[in-house]
Structure 1
Amino acid sequence: MKIALIAHDEKKPEMARFAAAYREILRGNELFATGHTGKVVADATDLPVQRFNSGPLGGDQEIGALIAKNQMDLVIFFRDPLTSQPHEPDVNALIRLADVYNTPLATNIGTAEVLLRGLGAGFIDFRKLVNGDETQHEQYE
């Protein structure tokens, strides 16, 4: 599975702890992340992480493009709703894309934990059942 990891600045330490705690589950998957979050996760886990641009330079949009191509299976975006900065990625666009393409998206550690524990227990690819083999939604073409 392809898993995207994004964290606002204040949530990066939490993402590092989370990734380290779930290292064994994450190990069996392809990890993608925005620039600095990817470095934080790689340093905390010693796992390979494909890093996109940082959030302010469009890394979240690169992840969004993979969601729109139905090429991302799970997104974990630890957002800071209280002190996020103007330069940080906006989760709303990713939430919209995740909803359109039935991609699970967690915005906090509790939901992320449930989703990763589900991966560890075995995963039914419900997105293929819902989306079929198509990578585009015809009603939007």
Structure 2
Amino acid sequence: MGSAPKRCRSWPISCRVEGRADSSIAGAAPEPVSAGIGNLPTRLPSFAPLARSAWTGQETSMQTRRRIALIAHDAKKATLTAWARRWEGWLAHQYLVGTGSSAEEVGKACPSLRIERLRSGPEGGDMQVGARIVDGEIDALVFLPDPANAHPHEADFRALIRIALIADIPIALSAASAEHLAIGMSQALPTTSEPVLQDIYVSSNGDRWRLGTAAHRRFVRHEPNQASGGSVTDTDLDHFLGNAGPGPEHVALRRILEVRSDGGA
């Protein structure tokens, strides 16, 4: 197999790798790869809808499998494989990709897992994962870096982390956070579609505004007082903030969101 042609414009997030890459699943021939990070879009797709967990006993279809990327520096590969062994039953129902020896080590430790192997990190594997995140093809990232040593491709994995943050997908950068990621993503779907509501503000005449979360959507619900005879309306959070006036409900909402962003909620 010849080496894949490469075209690079500027670093850190505009390198393109085309042709047939060093990616394969055990027992299958390598697939053609064409992935580019390019200029990041202003709005990236959120991670895929939640699937049923493996422990429910229900088979997970290919369309609802989580697409999880696994990466670990050499000093952290044992940590990654230990995590994969603990969660092998659940991971076996997901679609996994990994860079270089990370995919190889996890595959050896967990024979039941099928892992698409990309290039190693120094050979562009981090950029391949980043390109898939940009294209909405990765739902979560487990990346265990080694902070104690310098790495020649540090700019690559810093760009990868930045892309994952912009895409707003679940990210685990330590063993503890990887454990929480697996616990959270392995939960079964809720049996109710009712949104979770949090009070924002209640006016003196009884009008109520509430922050709602449902199916990865956030909105503001306005419940008018009974005497007004009005109906309940839901407004997307971005639209509500984009048309925000000086009303006390807007001020109260901003305070709630600031507390959440600071880790207080």
Task: Work out the number of aligned pairs and report it.
Answer: 128
**1:4 Cα deviation after fit:** 0.1
Note if 1:60 corresponds to 2:122: no
Superposed displacement of residue 76, structure 1: 0.3
Larger Rg: 2
5+ residue gaps, structure 1:
131-141
2:136 and 2:185 map into 1 onto residues whose CA distance is: 18
C-alpha deviation, 1:70, in angstroms: 1.1
Q: Distance in 2 between matches of 1:38 and 1:84?
A: 22
Unpaired runs of 5+ residues, structure 2, are 1-65, 191-214, 219-265
User: Matched residue of 2:103: which SS?
Assistant: helix
Q: Does 2:182 correspond to 1:116?
A: yes
| TM-score between both structures, scaled by the size of structure 2 | 0.45
Identity %: 36
5 Å-filtered alignment, 1:1-141, equals 1-46=66-111, 47-87=113-153, 90-122=156-188, 126=216, 129=217
The two structures have a TM-score, normalised by structure 1, of 0.83
What is the CA distance between 1:98 and its match in structure 2?
Answer: 1.1
Mapped to 2, the partners of 1:38 and 1:123 lie a distance apart of 29
- Please give the per-residue CA displacement for 1:4-60, whole angstroms capped at 9, x wherever unaligned: 000001001111111111101111100000010000011111111000001110011
C-alpha separation in 2, matches of 1:101 and 1:95? 10
Q: Distance in 1 between matches of 2:187 and 2:170?
A: 16
CA displacement, residues 54-89 of structure 1 (integer Å, 9 cap, x when unaligned): 111001110000001111000000011112432567
Q: Which stretch shows the higher mean deviation, 99-108 or 61-70?
A: 99-108
Q: Is the Cα contact below 8 Å between 2:68 and 2:138 reproduced in 1?
A: yes
Q: Please state which structure has a larger fraction of its residues in strand.
A: 2
Q: Which amino acid aligns with 1:86?
A: P
RMSD: 1.9
1:8, 1:88 within 8 Å by CA — same for their partners in 2?
no
Contact 2:127 / 2:156 at 8 angstroms: preserved in 1? no
